Amino acid sequence: MLTIGTSLRNRYKIVAKIGQGGMGAVYLAEDQRLAGRRVAVKVLHPGGALSPSTAEQLEREAQVLARLDHPTLPRVSDFFTPEEDEGHSVAMVMDYIAGQDLAEIVKEARRKGRFLPPTQVLSWAESLCDTLTYLHLQEPAILHRDIKPGNIKLAPDGTVKLVDFGIALILDAGSDQTVTSAKGIGTLPYLPLEQYGADLSGNDPRADLYSLGATVYHLLTGQQPLSAQERFLQPERFQPPSALVPTLMPHVERAILRAMALKPEGRPVSAEAFKQELLRGEVPPTVADETTLEEALRANALLVAVALLLFLGALALTLI
């Protein structure tokens, strides 16, 4: 843990601790080389002494994140191993985003006995869908893996910012080192079932869609959804959004529930598809809906065989 007043790299003076998680902490710091600039310093603790391979992997991922350029993402500007921690952690320096996070905003609304306006929530969701589209279309694709109201800041200019890339995953199918060494798994109410395991075989962009769907559920209803594990074990306990907000538009609820499907195959195929359904009620096919002709024939082989026999029988009769 860093103390207030510590200067990292003789440049970043720690001013306050602004967040704490299982993988590390986030600090507000002043950039002593650029007067007036404030940054967020995320200090990750992967566990034990930092091996050269782990440090190299984390640095490679920081370089990928540093190349991102999107209005809803904070820029990563520096990455290093703090000497103050004797080689047990790494630090990532990012833009500091002032303002409340959406978890605080929805909690404040519930204290006042009201819901957040659906039009406002859908506007935020539209922006976040665009963010995920940008991340998922990177080469290699980038998964955030911890989307939740607490990781979304409402900036002073009214835009939302998706923060906290401490456990982001770079999906590089051509590499045997695609797993970030900071193996955080996310936050349970927003965590898809396939991310409960220790391996990352179930990770693809639809995992982020589950988390975003659960986030929109929370923002609209004022309540965290049941975890995917609880829903799997006790499906009768899960309340659809309209049970909590009866005035919710049916197509919005349908989009949320599809994004929160327990099986990835039941979710929209992309963030753009989720956006279209959430905002306009358009229902593009899920992966489960996209059955090829070969798959359809294989799944219905008996029916095809009977139909073929009937056709040949009818054809024979016409030739007699």
The span from the CA of 45 to the CA of 229, in Å, is: 27
Catalytic residue, chosen from 69, 85, 101, 146, is 146
Number of domains in the chain: 3
| Global pTM value | 0.80
Q: What is the pLDDT of residue 169?
A: 58
Domain closes at, from 76, 95, 114: 95
175 pLDDT higher than 60: no
- Taking the C-alpha atoms of residue 279 and residue 129, their distance in angstroms, rounded to an integer, is 11
Statement to judge: residues 165 and 63 lie in one domain: no
- Is 180:167 a contact under the CB 8 Å cutoff? yes
Whether 146 is catalytic is: yes
What percent of the chain lies above the pLDDT cut of 70? 74
**Each residue's pLDDT tens digit, 136-151:** 999 888 888 889 999 9
Instruction: Tell whether 35 and 177 lie within a shared domain.
Output: no
List for the chain the helix, strand, coil content (%; round to 5): 45, 15, 40
CATH code at 42?
3.30.200.20
Identify the domain containing residue 154 by its residue range.
Answer: 102-289
List 28's β-bridge partners, or say none: 16, 40
pLDDT given at position 170: 54
Residue 1 lies in a domain: no
Strand 90-95 to strand 160-162: parallel, antiparallel, or no bridges (unpaired)? unpaired
User: Phi and psi at residue 61, in whole multiples of 5°?
Assistant: -70, -35
Q: Is residue 2 assigned to a domain?
A: no
Average pLDDT over residues 52-61: 73
Together in a domain, 84 and 106? no
Give 192-248 pLDDT, tens digit per residue: 998 876 555 557 899 999 999 999 999 999 999 999 999 999 999 999 999 999 999
**Is the CB of residue 58 less than 8 Å from the CB of residue 47?**
no
How confident is residue 50, by pLDDT bands cut at 50, 70 and 90?
A: low
